[in-house]
Amino acid sequence: MADHSGAFTEAQVIMRLCEIFASSDPRIEVGIGDDAAVVVGAKRQVMTTDMAVEGVHFRTDWSTGFEIGRKVTAANSADILAMGATPDYLLVAIGLTGKEEMSWIEDLANGIRHEADLAGLHVIGGDISKSEKVVISMTAVGHCDIAITRGGAKPGDGIYLSSLTGWSAAGLALLISNSTVATNAAEKAVREFKSPTIDYGFDATGASSLCDISDALEIQARQIADSSKVALKFDLAKIEASAEFVELKSLSQELEIDIWKLIFAGGEDHVLLATGSDLPGILAGEVIAGSGIENLPAGVENSGWEHFN
């Protein structure tokens, strides 16, 4: 970066990031500042990677650097949780245009640090490069004894959501439409789109299958059904009885959007979808013999949310 901007040098950015992401965790032998990180561990490792591109996954005119940092980190940590694993480490590669202020870069890094702390992640390294748009690529690493995949659901299991889906899609709709709706629900929806709340306290112990709802509930439920060779039958009355349903329904009416499209076709909530018995969260149906999804609300199938289109 040193040759592309007079505002900051690559060395200055790395030095500041070293300060923001400093950690005293004894498992980290070598952190940021060397050619690669070195960590010590003996458990089964779980790894995931994700990329976020300006204008596709986030917009700097909608979100602060802090919110963007939280959002991208949340997506990665949710993928670790979705395997029934404990988050450990995070590698962050960032492409910058060179026109950013150092204060914005610090804001982005502090957002990453904030969400990483919530998840129990330690940022141990990464890379910085020149880019036409801001690009953020992360690799998260966690550990578990036994991974929980999408392929373990069995007839008789319940279907559980760690919390109600649809809030992020409602927030996106508000931003796209420049809506003047100014209720607590509207503020919550926009907040959930910019920086989704991850259910870090969700206890998936005993879950037979598990996944993160990053695309849409309908899409990810079908993935579990296909992987497990079963059918997922939703109970809409049980979903309607959840604590957040009335609030989201009121907002959906203000937006003139079918609430079931928000819940089943909206994306980027990063809510956990699980099957099993006596799990926390919202009991949303049951696993039965068969294939695909049953009792899907009319008009929801193949109507997944399209971001920035």
Q: What CATH number corresponds to the domain at position 47?
A: 3.30.1330.10
Q: Are 140 and 48 in contact (CB under 8 A)?
A: yes
Q: Average pLDDT for residues 58-65, to the nearest whole number?
A: 95
Give the pLDDT confidence of 127-186 residue by residue, as tens digits.
Answer: 999 999 999 999 999 998 888 999 999 999 999 999 999 999 999 999 999 888 889 999
Domain span including residue 262: 158-294
Same domain, 168 and 277: yes
Same domain, 277 and 174: yes
Q: Which of 164-168, 216-220, 286-290, 298-302 has the lowest mean pLDDT?
A: 298-302
Same domain, 129 and 203: no
Same domain, 125 and 170: no
**Amino acid at the residue 155:** P
Under the banding of pLDDT at 50, 70 and 90, the label for residue 2 is very low
Residue 94 pLDDT more than 80? yes
Residue 97 pLDDT more than 90? yes
4 in a structural domain: no
104 in a structural domain: yes
Same domain, 208 and 121: no
1 in a structural domain: no
Under the banding of pLDDT at 50, 70 and 90, the label for residue 32 is low
Under the banding of pLDDT at 50, 70 and 90, the label for residue 6 is very low
218 in a structural domain: yes
**Which of 144, 176, 195 is the C-terminal boundary of a domain?**
144
Structural domain count, the chain: 2
Q: Kindly report the CA angle at 175 between 234 and 182, in degrees rounded to 5?
A: 90
How far apart (Å, rounded) are the C-alpha atoms in residues 71 and 61? 15
Same domain, 125 and 173: no
Q: What CATH number corresponds to the domain at position 171?
A: 3.90.650.10
Give the pLDDT confidence of 100-112 residue by residue, as tens digits.
Answer: 999 999 999 999 9
Q: What is the largest CA-CA distance in the chain?
A: 63
Same domain, 109 and 166: no
Same domain, 110 and 202: no
Same domain, 28 and 140: yes
Query: What would the two tokens of residue 252 be?
Result: 């959906």
- When the pLDDT of each residue in the chain is averaged and rounded to a whole number, the result is 90
Q: Are 262 and 170 in contact (CB under 8 A)?
A: yes
306 in a structural domain: no
* E strands, 145-299, in order: 158-161, 209-213, 231-234, 271-276, 282-288, 292-294
Same domain, 21 and 140: yes
